[in-house]
Amino acid sequence: MKPLRKAVLPVAGLGTRFLPATKATAKEMLPVVDKPLIQYAIEEARAAGIEQFCLITGRGKTAIVEHFDVAYELEATLRARGKTEALAMLEGTRIEPGALVTVRQQEPLGLGHAIWCARAFIDEDPFAILLPDDLILSDTPCVAQLAEAYRQTGGNVVAVQEVPREEISRYGILATGETHGNLIEVRGLVEKPPPEKAPSALAIIGRYVLLPEVIGHLARFERGAGGEVQLTDAMARLIGHSPFHGLRFEGRRFDCGDKAGFLEAQIAFALKRPDLAPQVRAFLRRYC
């Protein structure tokens, strides 16, 4: 079993739900408290032992790459002014030379197509997928939980949670088998089913650890829900050929692709900060 060392982060979306804020700014650069969404995702992957990163980008996304480059002028100015705390904040934005690559998804053909674009980076290795829109607050980073499940099972693992019935048609949904603790055997996957036809209410959220065989299925370019190349459909073809499990992860997930979820994440993450929590509680009392 190969170690998990690679992560793919699809960041080519237009972010239309956050217009006009995202007219000239990548949605993945929107900050939660004082860090952009993409940095939370990279830090979560690093905490799981990930060493190599591939960003699936599109036009207008260059700021994401710049964020993880060395800002010589800024660092020199901070150093000259003795701003050691500010310098320390930049440490999380440094990625080792050669450890970050970008690939363009030139057409918006779906998540499955975005992952296929990273095929040369993935090669023959297992890899994690992180969707930066999904921000997870947990004691143990979600990808680290998936990585441990991968080491136990040697197969594909996806993060799952129960969703309200009215939201089922927004997700890939599991048909489940045996349950062992937090691990659930996956016997089938359905992309965005109507609630009355869904096999369960267990939905895949934006964290995956997959074997490279999924790329061969994505390469068929078969269109699924919404006329797009669906990752869920390709993953379904892995079932029966390699172990496949859903993991009920520990933590709270915030959908930062949704305005209300994004605002809730701001409050939740601020309340976890000792330097901000008292002020946040005080102003919440004024409004609530």
Which CATH number fits the domain that encloses residue 64?
Answer: 3.90.550.10
- pTM above threshold 0.85: yes
| pLDDT reading at 80 higher than 90 | yes
Tell me if 69 is assigned to some domain.
yes
Tell me if 77 is assigned to some domain.
yes
| pLDDT reading at 60 higher than 90 | no
pLDDT of 6 = 97
In total, how many domains does the chain have? 1
Tell me if 1 is assigned to some domain.
no
Q: Map tokens 């310098």 to a residue.
A: 87
**Backbone phi, psi, residue 135, to 5°:** -105, 130
pLDDT of 13 = 86
Q: What is the pLDDT of residues 218-248, one digit of tens each?
A: 998 888 777 888 899 999 999 989 999 999 9
| pLDDT reading at 109 higher than 90 | no
Q: What is the pLDDT of residues 167-196, one digit of tens each?
A: 999 999 999 999 999 999 999 999 899 999
The mean predicted confidence, pLDDT, of the chain is 93
Q: Do residues 119 and 215 touch, judged by C-beta distance below 8 A? A: yes
Percent above pLDDT 90 for the chain = 78
Tell me if 111 is assigned to some domain.
yes
pLDDT of 59 = 85
| pLDDT reading at 139 higher than 90 | yes
| pLDDT reading at 38 higher than 90 | yes
Nearest to 145 by CA among 178, 181, 111, 185: 181
pLDDT of 218 = 93
What average pLDDT does the segment 50-71 reach? 91
Residue numbers of the domain that contains 226: 6-287
